Amino acid sequence: MGLRNHHNNHNHHRRPMLQANQSTCALFVGTWVRDDTYPMYQSPECPIIDSEFNCQMNGRPDSDYLKYRWQPLNCQLPRFNGLEFLVKMKGKTVMFVGDSLGLNQWESLICMIHAAAPRTRTHMTRGDPLSTFKFLDYGISVSFYRAPYLVDIDVVHGKRVLKLEDISGNGKSWLNADVLSFNTGHWWSHEGSLQGWDYMESMGTYYQDMDRLVALEKGLRTWANWVDNNIDRSKTRVFFQSISPTHYK
């Protein structure tokens, strides 16, 4: 449903609210509601936002789109508290893995924490595929690992090969995280200059192309098997985000 309808009607939902940590809370069923206490940070004051993601800097004239928060249907989602995050996550590592959806989430989380604790000591290293922002006073690392297909891409005789059953090269960098947030999606449909590979390999056979949904399923099965075989779920929380919309123009 559109933001306009929710802006006009969000006050009429007066049903009893549950706390977000209760099992009956459907976190992913809800709506966006206007909240004039938002945004939680101002883009010009955040040191790490990439210029192409900074709408205000690029001249977007309106700002109402910044004043919406997610409201689950039957529970109250606690407001993010950056200082509380730093205290509760002390000594932990959070890692986003995937494409620009994960990159946006990485930058946004850092900006929300930085806005709440602007004087805490920090250190950032930018790299490819791994970038890390550290909150030194709390021993917290928030990282982004760029892997738009999740599975590995190897160079064979000068050609990029998307290996649908191999994730070990990327996966070795994810093993020590306390929270892992994965995403993949629309890169699998890219063609031409945006396509990130020259060949696909599946079960030892090379393909110039195949049904992209079939390839995506193979890649996701490889990822899921890696999680099952390598992650101790009692120590590491694993999330998978939905596919982001295309945002190239």
Give the pLDDT of residue 247.
66
pLDDT for residue 10 is more than 50: no
> Closest Cα to residue 122, out of 170, 67, 82, 177?
82
Strands 237-240 vs 140-146: parallel, antiparallel or unpaired: unpaired
For the chain, give the number of residues.
Answer: 249
What is the structure's pLDDT at 98?
97
What pLDDT, on a 0 to 100 scale, did the predictor assign at position 185?
Answer: 92
DSSP annotation of 63: -
Q: How far apart are CA 88 and CA 131, in angstroms?
A: 22
**Distances 158 to 33, 65, 120, 124, 169 between C-alpha atoms, Å:** 50, 45, 45, 32, 18
pLDDT (tens digit per residue) in 65-102: 999 999 999 898 899 999 999 999 999 999 999 999 99
Q: Does the pLDDT value for residue 20 go beyond 90?
A: no
pLDDT tops 70 at residue 2: no
Nearest to 24 by CA among 67, 65, 76: 76
Q: In the chain, where does DSSP find H-type helix?
A: 3-9, 82-88, 100-116, 168-171, 212-230
How far apart (Å, rounded) are the C-alpha atoms in residues 19 and 25?
7
17, 73 in Cβ contact below 8 A?
no
Q: Is residue 146 predicted with pLDDT exceeding 90?
A: yes
- For residue 212, the cross-strand partners are none
**What digits encode the pLDDT tens for the residues 174-210?**
999 999 999 999 899 999 999 999 999 999 999 999 9
Give the per-residue pLDDT at 38.
95
Residue 32 burial (10 A CB sphere; 0-12, 13-18, 19+) = middle
- DSSP, collapsed to helix, strand or coil, labels residue 183 as coil
Mean pLDDT over 136-156 rounds to 98
Quick check: 121 pLDDT over 90?
yes
Confidence label for 5 from pLDDT (cuts 50, 70 and 90)? very low
